[in-house]
Structure 1
Amino acid sequence: MQTAAWARYLSRSWLCRRAWPGCSRHYRAVLCSELKQPLAIEEVAPRPVGPHEVRVDVHFSGVKFADILVCRGQYQEKPRLPFIPGVEFSGIVLETGRDVHTVKEGDRVIGLRRLNCMAGECIIDHKALWQIPEGISFREAAVLPASYNTAILALEHRARTQPGETVLVTAAAGATGLAVIDVVTNVLQAKVIAAAGSEEKCKLAMQKGAQFSVNYSQGSLKEALGKLVGSRGVDVAIDTVGGDVFLEALRSLAWEGRIVVVGFAGGTIASVPANLLLLKNISAMGIFGVRYQGQNFPVFSRALSSAIQYCLEGRIHPYIGAVFKLEEGREPRFWEQPVDPSRHQYGAASLSVTQPMEHRKGKVSPGI
């Protein structure tokens, strides 16, 4: 048992907060105890569930670029150390609080929360769980709460994308980028121009449904778009890069075009030239998907429910670029970028966290 190792990282009060008298079983978790340093895999003593909480046996946890930024201290939100990273997961309900009536033991679920998902178990408020049908695998389901929920919120709720419109998506080979392509092409029946930083990424985006692609590492994004759509411009732009890429996307919008800021993967936050908004009656807006969970839950829940339904109907097909074992979470290469560059994989990545039977002294969930 490695519980004693926690003393090197955690305060006594933090440890006591996570266990209860008589608890004998433990689960493994990825632990960030110091920013920009290698992570650890530690044994965690679970705590009791509250009246409105649910304990889930985690099978897969999605791995996002945002998770890497959090562990580097470069994300908008900076949690207190130590913490368990990960914002989304899929798994099976192990236990419910006394006031929970929406799910029961044995249900297949996905969940979204700020942290603590890269672990063998996750305790979460029952309102942050959605049941997943048998027709959707745990691996696919684990990447729906963040990337696909964000894509649907950005395209349907914020940009009000219409059939036949032209949508530009930057960082198109990333998890959110490929989700945008999937939803635009297969659900909204609109056209997609995929913009990415290499020919290989552009090729993947085209394979996943984009009608056109632009490699913005080879020159001006605005000029390349002009050759594709002429002076009219694109109707909608979904940007996850920021900096100069955002500005060129903004300048490439059509009359009454809409640009949605999803993130700043390029590391630079651009300033919006307000005169461009005025001249073309452009709308510039943001989408921070997880905030909808607390600020506008009906919209958030509707988007995630739509993602589940689209997946069940076979209208969307989540692309999993890599699947890692939990133990790989401590390897430096795992946190350098979302997937292993040596294998030339992109899109979403998943962490397989289902634990061997010997790690459980309580109920063991069914295999994947």
Structure 2
Amino acid sequence: MTTLITKALLPHVKHLRKVCKISKFNHTSVRLASNNYQAAVFKSKDATELTFEEKKQPKLKDSQVRIAVAYCSVNIYDVTSFSDTTRKFPFVPGYEFSGEIIETGKEAAKLFNKEDRVIAFSFDHCGGLATECVVDYEDVWTTPASIQLKEAAVLPYSYAAALYTFGVKAPIKECSNVVVAVGPAGSGLAAVDVAANIYKAKVVAVTDTEKNSELTREKGAFTTLHYKDNIEKHVISAFGNKRADVIFDAVGGEVHDVVTSCVDQNGKIFTLSPGKVSPPPPHSSLMRISLNRLRQQNLPEYRQIVQDTLEMAEQGMFTAHISEKFDFKEVNKAVEFIKSKKCTGKVVVKVN
């Protein structure tokens, strides 16, 4: 198997390709009635909360699998997307989730079996906040037996994006100077963890609260700064009168402008923000990281970086941070929790 991460990490990654045949997850408990399932739905663009509906199972295409959802992650970007007026309603949120396969299409059956424990993405149609979700097999990975489904639901996207950034697009090394803008969605924490602990870089984390500062220090940041600090001055001081080789912006907006002022000549800036951001300073570069776009541009690379992420997690090289857990019927409490800015990372909803 060819891995995308840098050669320095190859000895640490065992390419195990395990398919777990045993699961304690009982998918039969999710069935409401024959061919029906339950979903949390935004009925219209004017809806203020999710409502629960019984929906009819769609017929599987050859390339698809039907997954009984165990856990679905929710973060600030999910919540802000609920108000997207260009979206087709009714709408079932949730693009990152874990569970167990309960049905496979003809082509998908060549790679997956019923009862396989998996993680999946559903970028285009979402649908993860439901007892069942249908996705293409190219967006599904077998979950290693040592990784709980709760953690599997929040780990792949954030850590795969960080590994793709620091291992592929801007390979960093020990003592590289990295600044990470950490927000409430979990991707910033993952970037700190990967840069500091996997690649041994020198990481300055920029956060909005002391609680987030504590978490980033626990993840490996050697120092933390607040958004309102004189960031440029303090970053240069922290790096011994040097600027950052790489900026990882997991926040966007005004914070993007603040942290990018710290980039060195020929430095690289990466953002996960889906919104508009300012152009980079002279003699530096800016790139937006999106696994969804990577899927469209280079499917093998997309699948490989997520596979690498799961295998490294299996070996305990990193673990995801879960800010809070809610039951399926409490999904509106989960949304309010995120809106209130109480979260310090991804929120997970236990569907089954």
Bigger CA drift: 30-39 or 105-114? 30-39
- SS of the aligned residue for 1:153 comes to helix
8 A Cα contact 1:151 1:183, kept in partner: yes
**What is the RMSD computed on CA atoms of the aligned residues?**
2.0
Structure 2 portions without partners, runs of 5+: 1-32
Return the offset for 1:240: 2.2
Distance 1:145 1:208 in 2: 17
Match of 2:260 in 1: 250
**SS of the residue 2:282 aligns to:** helix
In structure 2, distance between residues paired with 1:70 and 1:221: 29
Greater Cα radius of gyration, structure 1 or 2: 1
- 1:97 counterpart (97, 100, 105): 105
Partner secondary structure for residue 59 of structure 1: strand
Partner SS state of residue 277, structure 1? coil
Partner of 1:108: 117
Whether the 8 Å contact between 1:159 and 1:259 is mirrored in structure 2 is no
Q: Which SS does the other structure have where 2:144 is aligned?
A: coil
The answer to whether the 8 Å contact 1:172/1:202 transfers is no
1:230 Cα deviation (Å)?
4.0
Deviation at 1:314, TM superposition (A): 0.3
1:84 aligns with 2:84: no
Residues 41-89 of structure 1: CA distance to partner in whole angstroms, max 9, x if unpaired? 2112212211111111110111122211111217xxx431111101111
Aligned to 2:225: 214
Q: 1:327 to 1:151 in 2, by over 3 A?
A: same
- Structure 2 distance, partners of 1:209, 1:237, is 16
Q: Is 1:134 paired with 2:166? A: no
TM-fit CA distance, 1:133: 1.3
Residue 226 (str. 1) matches residue 236 (str. 2): yes
Q: How does 1:284-363 map to 2 (within 5 A)?
A: 284-329=286-331, 331=332, 333-336=333-336, 338=338, 344-354=342-352
Deviating more after overlay: 233-242 vs 150-159: 150-159
Question: Amino acid of the residue matched to residue 352 of structure 1?
Answer: K
Letter in 1 for 2:170: A
1:173 Cα offset (Å): 5.4
Question: What's the secondary structure of 1:315's corresponding residue?
Answer: coil
Task: Return the offset for 1:242.
Answer: 2.4
Shift of 1:340: 6.5
The question of 1:161 aligning with 2:166 is answered: no
Is 1:205 matched with 2:219? no
**Matches of 1:137 and 1:66, distance apart in 2:** 24
Q: Which amino acid aligns with 1:214?
A: L
C-alpha distance in structure 1 between counterparts of 2:299 and 2:99, whole Å: 22
Hey, what's the Cα distance between the residues in 1 that align with 2:156 and 2:91? 20
**Quick one: which amino acid aligns to residue 282 of structure 2?**
L
Deviation at 1:29, TM superposition (A): 1.1
8 A Cα contact 1:54 1:123, kept in partner: yes
SS at match of 1:61: strand
The answer as to whether partners of 2:334 and 2:347 remain within 8 angstroms in 1 is no
8 A Cα contact 1:68 1:337, kept in partner: no
TM-score, normalised to structure 1's length? 0.81
Gaps of 5+ in 1: 1-22, 355-368
Q: Is the 1:321–1:339 Cα contact (8 Å) retained in structure 2?
A: no
Secondary structure of 1:93's match? Answer: strand
Q: How does 1:12-51 map to 2 (within 5 A)?
A: 24-35=34-45, 37-51=48-62
Tell me what 2:251 maps to: 241
Give the total of aligned pairs.
316
- Rounded to whole Å, the distance in 2 between the matches of 1:353 and 1:340 is 22
Partners of 2:119 and 2:143 within 8 A in 1? yes
Q: % of aligned pairs identical?
A: 28
The superposition leaves residues 151-206 of structure 1 with CA deviations (integer Å, 9 ceiling, x where unpaired) of 22222222222232121110255410111112112222212111101222111211
> For residue 157 of structure 1, what is the amino acid of its counterpart?
V
